[in-house]
Structure 1
Amino acid sequence: MPWINKHQQQAGFSLLEILVAFAILSLSIGVLLRIFAGGGHLTRTAEDYYRAVVTAETLLTGLGVETPLQPGVTQGTTETGFRWTATVSPYPINPQLLGAQAGSPMMNNSMGFLPFWVELSVEWGPEEDPRAFTLDSLRLVMDRSSQGGF
């Protein structure tokens, strides 16, 4: 009986090697899919924040220009589905910090303008767990009842 070299008869990969290779391949593909899916989610979140910032800036710009600035809370919803809340409150100032002298009209809060603190918040997403973005601003409005000023 001739002696046969086992190594010459075996060619290719064993079933176990093929199964291990497929397992490694499937794990690698799964990791790559998660990376790409996570990147898409982050891109969507960044787009939502960008749209919220633009919406908040637009609404804040219109306050006091398109609509009169009055103390209180105003709420609404944009056409794109953002919910917004604007809170306007008088801003206390010390006339002496502005250089007012005793007896001047500025000491009687007759400075010619009224300062208001404006906080505008934009929300989106589900109401039970919303995302939000807030802008704050100090706005000056002409005081029509005042005869004073700078």
Structure 2
Amino acid sequence: MRKKRTIPEAKAQSGFSLLEMLVAFSIMAIALGVLLRVFGGATRSARIAEEYSRAVIAAESVLDDVGVEMPLAPGVTEGRFGDEFRWILRIAPVPIPALEQQVRPDNAPLAGSPLAGLKLFAVDASVVWGEGEEPREITLSTLRLFNENPSGVPGRLPGGPFGPRM
């Protein structure tokens, strides 16, 4: 007589099945991809903001040089700050409508006028960078008043009607 073999009872399954592991790994990979994209976008935004800050500083530097190292005269001037930034300076005369009664046809004040020798200029400093990829540009604008007569109004002493300050 043969003994019947008994089949051992199925043990409770321990661990995860292959399908469960694949699903969990896929969810984790998608979540990681989204997180990397978010952090990459934030890093790119921070880099662009830093570039804009440096471009504003460069444009302010160009504006500061007008009338000191560069003449305050109508025209366009260009230059570079290193390899990264290119600047363009535009200076144009601005008519002063409120003072039109006191000026000659060439927009210069009448001789002896308290406005003689004064000229107003619009000054625009543009900075361009990133020409290979997405070119970016900022422009700062200001107005500058220029006195062609350094001593002020004709007949007056420098420093005001009473002469220079001591």
Q: Which runs of 5+ in 2 are unaligned?
A: 1-5, 110-114, 161-166
Q: 1: distance between equivalents of 2:85 and 2:16?
A: 59
Select which of 28, 34, 39 maps to 1:36. Answer: 39
Q: Tell me, what secondary structure is at the counterpart of 1:126?
A: coil
Matches within 5 A, 1:1-150: 4=9, 6=10, 8-79=11-82, 81-94=84-97, 97=98, 106-108=102-104, 109-110=108-109, 111=115, 112-126=117-131, 129-144=134-149, 147=154
Q: 1: distance between equivalents of 2:20 and 2:60?
A: 60
Max Rg structure: 2
Q: 2: distance between equivalents of 1:129 and 1:2?
A: 72
TM-score, normalised with respect to structure 2: 0.74
TM-score, normalised with respect to structure 1: 0.82
Letter in structure 1 aligned against 2:20: E
Q: 2: distance between equivalents of 1:91 and 1:130?
A: 30
After TM superposition, the runs of 4+ consecutive aligned structure 1 residues lying more than 4 A away are none
Q: Deviations over 1:11-58 (max 9, x none)?
A: 111111010000001111111111111111111101100000000011
Structure having the larger proportion of residues in helix: 1
Give the superposition deviation at 1:10. 1.2
Residues 148, 60 of structure 1: alpha-carbon distance in 2 compared, 3 angstrom cutoff: farther
Q: Deviations over 1:125-149 (max 9, x none)?
A: 1157410000111001112397399
Residues 90, 128 of structure 1: alpha-carbon distance in 2 compared, 3 angstrom cutoff: farther
Alignment RMSD: 2.7
Q: Which runs of 5+ in 1 are unaligned?
A: none
Q: Tell me, what secondary structure is at the counterpart of 1:65?
A: coil
